[in-house]
């Protein structure tokens, strides 16, 4: 295989892996952690992979990393969620806050990741 073919195979794996993992392993991971009386689900475990993917995809697409900007965004998101919860409930329950925050981080990560996938495909076509 030449380097162009292996690059395309690598990109296909990078682009599709989060969705494949969500489809194939979601129930198994949920059953495993349910046996341990934990509420961890597969999206919780995918966040580090997605953040690493955001860094790799932004380097491939734009030749600089969007990782620092994404970190600023998710930290700001945490502050906003904290303020909303504090104003709404009058107290901060850390367990529910971190669970809510982490789920928002997952949603933000998957949107940013697949936004970069689309941007990478568009840049590759030019």
Cα-to-chain-centroid distance, residue 111: 8
Write the secondary structure of the chain as one string of H (helix), E (strand) and C (coil): CCHHHHHHHHHHHHHHHHHHHHHHHHHHHHHHHHHCCCCCCHHHHHHHHHHHHHHHHHHHHHCCCCHHHHHHHHHHHHHHHHHHHHHHHCCCCHHHHHHHHHHHHHHHHHHHHHHHHHHHHHHHHC
Q: Where are the domains positioned within the chain?
A: 3-125
- pLDDT confidence of residue 107: 95
Tens of pLDDT, residue by residue over 10-26, are 777 777 888 887 788 77
Average pLDDT, the chain: 86
pLDDT tens figures, 23-32: 887 788 778 8
Closest residue by Cα to residue 53 from 91, 119, 96, 110: 110
What does pTM read for this prediction? 0.83
- Give the model's confidence band at 41: pLDDT under 50 very low, under 70 low, under 90 confident, else very high: confident
Q: State residue 6's pLDDT score.
A: 67
Task: Check residue 7 and give its pLDDT.
Answer: 67
State the average pLDDT over residues 35-42.
Answer: 78
Gap between the Cα atoms of 88 and 85, Å rounded: 5
How confident is the model over 45-87, as pLDDT tens digits? 899 999 999 999 999 889 999 999 999 999 999 999 999 999 9
């Amino acid at each position: 295989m030449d380097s162009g073919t292996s690059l395309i195979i690598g990109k296909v794996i990078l682009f599709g892996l989060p969705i494949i993992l969500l489809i194939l392993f979601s129930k198994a991971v949920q059953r495993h952690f349910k046996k341990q009386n934990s509420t961890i689900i597969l999206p919780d475990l995918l966040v580090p992979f997605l953040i690493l993917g955001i860094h790799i995809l932004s380097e491939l697409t734009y030749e600089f990393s969007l990782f620092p900007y994404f970190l600023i965004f998710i930290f700001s998101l945490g502050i906003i969620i904290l303020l909303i919860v504090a104003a709404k409930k009058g107290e901060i329950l850390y367990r529910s806050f971190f669970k809510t925050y982490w789920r928002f981080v997952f949603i933000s990560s998957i949107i940013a990741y697949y936004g970069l996938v689309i941007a990478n495909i568009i840049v590759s076509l030019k």
